[in-house]
Structure 1
Amino acid sequence: MRIGIIGCGVISRQYLASFDELPDVQLVAVADLDPARAEAAAEGREGVRVLSVDELLADPEVDTVLNLTIPAAHADVDLRAIAGGKNVYSEKPFAVTTEEGAGVLAAAQKAGVLTGSAPDTVLGTGTQTARVAIDVGEIGTPIAAVATMVTPGHERWHPQPDFYYVPGGGPLLDMGPYYIHSLVTLLGPIAEVIGAGSRLRTERTIGSGPREGEIIPVTTETHVTGVLVHESGALTTLIMSFDGVATSAHPIEVHGTTGTLAVPDPNRFDGDVEVKRLGGEDWETLPVAGGYQGVARGIGLQDMAVRGEALRASGELGQHVLEVMNAVLESARNGTRVEVASTVARPEAVELQDVRVTA
């Protein structure tokens, strides 16, 4: 599958670092509104051409557009790529509004092309080993989960953090996809939500880079909490914050009738999965039992290349998670329980395998 990247900002470095390890994926072109960033992305990469955005979208040598633009541009770039007959794989979130995301899926279905959505971290051994543990009954019947992400905010380290603090950003739409993609992988789709949110600061100060010291406005919620009601009946408590300092909680805990599972950071591909069994005294680290081993961002493209319509990090999953997040924000604004109209199949588990095994 021949890939063209649109958007060569900070996150592109992580994708660029992994392309050489993906046997069924080839990077052929890059584009950015800032030509210098595109040139830097292509430097030292034989056969990778630097194009304008329009040129890349029209290029017959590009099968799939990897959309690494800012969230506000995700849907527009995807729609333009689809109109040119190309598959799309978008960074998270899949779009900003639920309506935008639905439009991308409808256009892709009509055009007969594939849609994929980050994060693909859920395909690694961390989330997938936890998936195996749940499926084989290590904790009995799952009844609840808690997902917690607390950080003082990305403006402390990101040189261009503006998009984190406008609609489409905030802790929920920025970091929530990692946690909710993992939760859907573990516990299945979500039927309804209850949410609350706050925005205690109207400004943030950039802490690094050429704009260090510059003040930027905050126009979205920076602390969001909610309850996600899974179709299975399990309840997830979600805490996403750019306002706190730190947390000692496990990133995700899944509570079952006979045990509790500690799931590693879903922003990583690996990490220990631990279980505390009913009547047991200590946490036990489970052996790695599922997932792609030794991978980085981009494995979702490999999965897309070899599995086609059966890809796991699908646009349908990205859209369901987007709707869930926007429903939480709607509930926070209106003080009401909100139903989630879409559903999605629980993604197929990933058998434990090396990235070079294309199956």
Structure 2
Amino acid sequence: MKIAIVGTGFVADYYMTTLPNHPQLVLGGVYDRDPLRLKQFADYYKVATYPDFEAVLADGEVGIVVNLTTPENHYSLSKQALEAGKHVYCEKPLAMRYEEAAELVAIAERQDLVLASAPAIALSAAHRLVDTTLGSIGKPRLVYAEMEDGPVFRANWQEWRSVSGARWPGLHEFEVGCTLEHAGYALSWLVSLFGAVESLSALSALTFPNKGPGTETTTMAPDFSVGCLMFRSGVIARLTCGLAAPRDRSLTILGDKGSLIVGDLWDHHSPVYLETAAEGRTLRTKLAEQLEAHLQRFLSGKPLPGRKLAYERSARLVKLPAYPSQIDFAGGIAAQAGAIEKGMPLFSSGKVALHITELALALNNAGSLPQPYRLQSTF
């Protein structure tokens, strides 16, 4: 499957790093509206370039257009690509408005095309491990999902560069907001494991309006959100997103017969711990609890409960970006290409992509929406 990448900013390097994991994908070329950035990227990776977006759409050999542009451009460029007969893989969110995202899904269905959305995080080895182990904890009841990225605005983010030299777009990230940028990582896991959401009750707010030099005149989006999601399956999940609290991207699933804990949703090979009522508490957990009782205080650094699950050796044979984004970004495009070639449905496309987009928008825009918010989309 020949693909073309549109947008060669910071995130594009993550896709290029993981593209070798999927030799069935052939990169036809790249395009960016910034000619200097385009040249820098193409020179670094030794790849062909397109003179403009129209040239991308005119390339009859390109099957999938990979839309890695800024969020406010996702809708218009994806729409043009779909109307030109191209399958589209789009970075999150699909669009900045629900109506626009729904229109894209409708165009794709009408054109018999596959519209898929990042992130590819639900294709990770950690997700497969949890999915195959989920039955061990009985019926899932309650889930805690954390998507806290730490106090990024207090770091020296102005100096951050990708491997090919792209600046981290800090100001723009603050304008879009951490929820639209990051909630999709947790939502992809939650929706793939527990199905569609019926309603959510959420709060979002701008808690730190001053994010340092250079941000004084920037219109900031909410930098914190928390939502309680009610799934049709009966599962209840709490999801938090933020840019101030200490970094925490964990997932805790509590069931009738035990619990599963994923240490880091951004880690393809994240540590996963299983604790069941039948097996009882592990020795190290018992010792930690005894030490707490002896000291009469809570130990924040105690080990996670349960036994650490092992991965198959083959799951390790994947090239990943450096910490903290150890995700197989190109894996989503590969899954899309495979589904297209086999004529099979792709879970992360169409109505599911729309559902995740609506959830992220509802969390981000909670202040202007009725609560609880009832989802328009489902699958």
TM-score bracket for the superposition, by shorter chain length: 0.7 to 0.9
The question of whether the paired residues in 1 share the 8 Å contact of 2:272 and 2:309 is answered with yes
Q: Counterpart in 2 of 1:353?
A: none
Q: 2:197 aligns with which of 173, 182, 190?
A: 190
Higher normalized helix content (fraction of residues): 2
Q: Counterpart in 2 of 1:294?
A: 318
Q: Secondary structure at the match of 1:254?
A: strand
Tell me whether 1:144 sits opposite 2:142 in the alignment: yes
Q: Counterpart in 2 of 1:239?
A: 240
- Uncovered stretches (5+) of structure 1, i.e. residues with no partner: 207-212, 345-359
Give TM-score, length-normalised by structure 1.
0.86
Instruction: Tell me how large the CA RMSD over aligned residues is.
Output: 2.2
TM superposition shift of 1:93: 1.5
Change in 2 beyond 3 A, CA 1:319/1:45: same
How far, CA to CA, are the matches of 2:247 and 2:19 in structure 1?
A: 33
The question of whether the paired residues in 2 share the 8 Å contact of 1:149 and 1:240 is answered with yes
How far, CA to CA, are the matches of 1:154 and 1:114 in structure 2?
A: 37
For 1:268-316, what per-residue CA distance to the aligned partner results, in whole angstroms no more than 9, with x for missing partners? 3221211122232342011226979525210111111112242233243
| Structure exhibiting the larger radius of gyration computed from Cα positions | 2
Alignment of 1:11-22 (within 5 A): 11-22=11-22
- Uncovered stretches (5+) of structure 2, i.e. residues with no partner: 161-167, 286-305, 320-327
How far, CA to CA, are the matches of 2:16 and 2:228 in structure 1?
A: 36
The question of whether the paired residues in 2 share the 8 Å contact of 1:28 and 1:62 is answered with yes
Q: Counterpart in 1 of 2:218?
A: 217
How far, CA to CA, are the matches of 1:226 and 1:313 in structure 2?
A: 22
Q: Secondary structure at the match of 1:108?
A: helix
The question of whether the paired residues in 2 share the 8 Å contact of 1:264 and 1:270 is answered with no
Q: Counterpart in 2 of 1:325?
A: 360
For 1:255-279, what per-residue CA distance to the aligned partner results, in whole angstroms no more than 9, with x for missing partners? 0011111023222322121112223
Tell me whether 1:337 sits opposite 2:372 in the alignment: yes
Q: 1:199 aligns with which of 190, 194, 206?
A: 206
Q: 2:185 aligns with which of 178, 181, 204?
A: 178
Change in 2 beyond 3 A, CA 1:10/1:46: closer
Higher normalized strand content (fraction of residues): 1
Change in 2 beyond 3 A, CA 1:311/1:293: farther
Percent of pairs with identical residues: 25
The question of whether the paired residues in 2 share the 8 Å contact of 1:38 and 1:50 is answered with no
Alignment of 1:1-359 (within 5 A): 1-43=1-43, 48-134=48-134, 137-150=135-148, 151-153=150-152, 156=155, 157=157, 159-166=168-175, 169-205=176-212, 213=214, 215-247=216-248, 251-278=250-277, 279-281=280-282, 282=285, 283-288=306-311, 294=318, 296-308=328-340, 309-334=344-369, 336-344=371-379
The aligned length equals 332
How far, CA to CA, are the matches of 1:85 and 1:75 in structure 2?
A: 16
Larger mean CA deviation between 95-104 and 150-159 belongs to 150-159
Larger mean CA deviation between 254-263 and 324-333 belongs to 324-333
Q: Which amino acid aligns with 2:14?
A: Q
Q: Counterpart in 2 of 1:349?
A: none
Q: Counterpart in 1 of 2:324?
A: none
Q: Which amino acid aligns with 1:288?
A: Y
The question of whether the paired residues in 2 share the 8 Å contact of 1:64 and 1:87 is answered with yes
Q: Which amino acid aligns with 1:228?
A: L
Change in 2 beyond 3 A, CA 1:49/1:225: same
TM superposition shift of 1:44: 6.0
The question of whether the paired residues in 1 share the 8 Å contact of 2:125 and 2:315 is answered with yes
Q: Secondary structure at the match of 2:137?
A: coil
How far, CA to CA, are the matches of 2:35 and 2:61 in structure 1?
A: 20
Change in 2 beyond 3 A, CA 1:237/1:47: closer
How far, CA to CA, are the matches of 1:328 and 1:271 in structure 2?
A: 26
The question of whether the paired residues in 2 share the 8 Å contact of 1:195 and 1:335 is answered with no
For 1:3-36, what per-residue CA distance to the aligned partner results, in whole angstroms no more than 9, with x for missing partners? 1111000000111122233122100111001112
